[in-house]
Structures are given as C-alpha cells and as structure tokens.
Amino acid sequence: MAAKESGMQIRGKVSIFSLIIFLTIMFGCFETKDKADDDDNENGGGGNTEYRVEMRTFVSEISDYAKTQKPGFFIIPQNGVELFTLTGDHEGEAAAGYLSKIDGTGQEDLFYGYDEDDAATPAEEMEWIKGFLDIGKANNITIMVTDYCSTHSNMDDSYAKSAAAGYISFAADSRDLDTIPAYPAVIHNENSTNVTSMAMAKNFLYLINPSNYSTKSAMLSAISATNYDIVLIDAFFNEQLLSSADIASLKTKKNGGTRLVICYMSIGEAEDYRYYWDENWSADPPAWLTEENPDWEGNFKVRYWQREWKDIIYGSSDAYLDKILSCGFDGVYLDIIDAFEYFEGE
C-alpha cells in the first residue's frame, strides 16, 4: 500500500488539475472568439468593428475615388459631427485625416427642429453640436446648417444665428425637403457673385423631394429661377436619372452668377426605391442589409463597412457615385453618416 499523500502533494495535484481546466476553458473561449471574428471578417468587418473608424474610412474612400475621377469634386457629409475628433468629444484630438478629405459638412436641426419642427433646439444639444461644427470650421470646412422651421420669426432667427456663427444655412419650411420656400421673398445673403468653391457660397437650397413638380422640366425651371449659391438636389426625378444637360442648366443663377450643383446620396442606409434595389432582398437579404428604419419607410440600415455595399456606392459604371459623376454634379452630399450610432447601440 502506498504511503498516504501529504497535503502539499494533494494541493499540487489539485493546482495542476485546476490549471488544466482553466486552460481548456480559455482555449474554448479563444476558439469561439476566433470563429466569431472569422464570421464577421467574412461579412466585411472585424470582430470588434470600430464603427466610427469604418465610417471615416468609407467617406475617405469615396472622397479619394471621386476626386481622382473629377479633381475639385466636393465631399459634404451630413450629421455625424462626432467624427471630427478621434474621441468623439470636443476636447479630443481632431481627426485630421478625415477632415482633410471633406470640403463641407451638413448639419440638421442646429437651432430649430431637434425635438420638433418649428421649435427651438434645446440649448444643451445645440452647444454640443456647435462645438464640433466649430472644430470643422477651424479646419476650413464649410458648415451648411438646415433648420426645420416655418414660422417667419423662427426662420429669421435661424438665418441670423447661423450667420453670426459663420455658417451658411437653409430654413426648410418642410421636413420633406420638397419646397422652395416663399419666405423670405429675397433669399438670405443673396448675391450675384460667381460661386466656384464651397468657401464662396453664402446660402443654399435643399430640395431633394420633387413630388410637388409634375414634370422634370417644371422642377428644373423652378430651381433655375432662384439665386441660391448652392443647389442641393437628388440625382433622379421619379426614378429617371438627370442628364448632364439638366445639371448644366442649373449652374447659372437667375441673376447671371454661377453656382454649384450638389447631389444627395445616402451611404448609411439603402433605399428600396433606388435603381440598385433588388426585390429578392425582401425575402433573402444580403449580409450587409439590416432592418428597416422605423421612422423612414423604405430605408434600411446597412453594414456600411462591407465590400458589397461599397461596390454599390462607388467604383464601377453602374455604381451610385459614378452615375452622379457622369451627370456633371459639382459634389456629393453624403447622408446617414451617423449610422455608426445605430450599430453602437446594438
């Protein structure tokens, strides 16, 4: 019969046994994590996708591609101004690489419309957004503010506050962006200067929904009769792509000065009324397509870092951006930049 084991020997065996169990569990965890990472990599992202970094990368890729195809092409992301710093707060280091790729930024609801149309934006929210906009301004980024207000006094106040901050602005009397406001009778900061750069613009029109116009020519005529320095429109009229002649007809203001014509394009959501939409996606969605936006019917969140979605946006003759470039637009206005917030909240 073997001698009775000492307490030290028993503890030693228990320790070795515990170590084996620990290593087995850890190996299993690493294997599971590696598999999850592999699965995510197959879908076009890293296992721990940095959604803000991926959006900066996407915008930068669009900028590099567009400016290579057409030097001087303007890149203007809308919202998502937290991307201006690496930490997403006012004190963080400026995201210099990202800022160098864009020429302007659009910001909705800065002074009016944040909680409710035609209602003042809460001061705390306004100051938070404005802190980032001023970082952009310090980096020579043109700030384009769209407030949603229809009361004349609120529209006047919106224009005055943007002007005081050094921004250009548009007081939209319809959230649908389907009208050319009748007020003010003379547009804010109207001028006859030839506008050839973002920095020269003193005002802009945001009209991306043509539903109030029965024909394309009626819409083009209405825009041509204005003196806005920048006209921001959609590339399509009732699913018909505008021609280069259509865009060229809009580049002169009524008063004879030249202006910029910028095209709207959503890159953070897919829209089921766009030419690229495949009806089969409803039953069998691709890996990059996620759920419908509950606030905007027909708009679906996308995993914007995945290659398949990027290929829809740019890089071939049938890609969205390439169609915009072929039409002769002066720049592109990129919407749903703040899509990173959706994925961060999952």
Mean pLDDT of 7-33: 36
Q: What is the structure's pLDDT at 193?
A: 96
Q: Is 13 part of any domain?
A: no
pLDDT band at 33 (very low <50, low <70, confident <90, very high): very low
Residue-number span of the structural domain to which 180 is assigned? 51-344
Predicted TM-score (pTM) of the model is 0.87
Q: Say which residue, 19 or 225, is predicted with more confidence.
A: 225
Q: What is the structure's pLDDT at 269?
A: 98
Per residue in 240-289, pLDDT (tens digit) is: 999 999 999 999 999 999 999 999 999 999 999 999 999 999 899 999 99
Percent of the chain with pLDDT over 70: 86
Q: Is 174 part of any domain?
A: yes
Mean pLDDT estimate for the chain: 89
Asked whether residue 32 carries a pLDDT value surpassing 80, the answer given is no
Q: Is 35 part of any domain?
A: no
Q: Is 24 part of any domain?
A: no
Asked whether residue 46 carries a pLDDT value surpassing 50, the answer given is no
Q: Is 32 part of any domain?
A: no
Asked whether residue 181 carries a pLDDT value surpassing 90, the answer given is yes
Q: Is 21 part of any domain?
A: no
Mean pLDDT of 324-330: 98
Q: Is 39 part of any domain?
A: no
Q: Is 183 part of any domain?
A: yes
Number of domains, the chain: 1
Q: What is the structure's pLDDT at 47?
A: 46
Q: What is the structure's pLDDT at 49?
A: 80
Q: What is the structure's pLDDT at 9?
A: 35
CATH of the domain at 209: 3.20.20
Per residue in 123-161, pLDDT (tens digit) is: 999 999 999 999 999 999 999 999 999 999 999 999 999
Per residue in 217-229, pLDDT (tens digit) is: 999 999 999 999 9
Annotate the chain with three-state secondary structure.
Answer: CCCCCCHHHHHHHHHHHHHHHHHHHHHHHHHHHHHHHHHHHHCCCCCCCCHHHHHHHHHHHHHHHHHHHCCCCEEEEECCHHHHECCCCCCCCECHHHHCCCCEEEEECCCECCCCCCCECCHHHHHHHHHHHHHHHHCCCEEEEEEECCCHHHHHHHHHHHHHHCCEEEEECCCCCCCCCCCCCCCCCCCCCCCCCHHHCCCEEEECCCCCCCCHHHHHHHHHCCCCCEEEECCEECCEECCHHHHHHCCECCCCCECEEEEEEECCEEECCCCCCCHHHHCCCCCCEEEECCCCCCEEEECCCCHHHHHHHCCCCCCHHHHHHHHCCCEEEEECHHHHHHHHCC
Q: What is the structure's pLDDT at 13?
A: 35
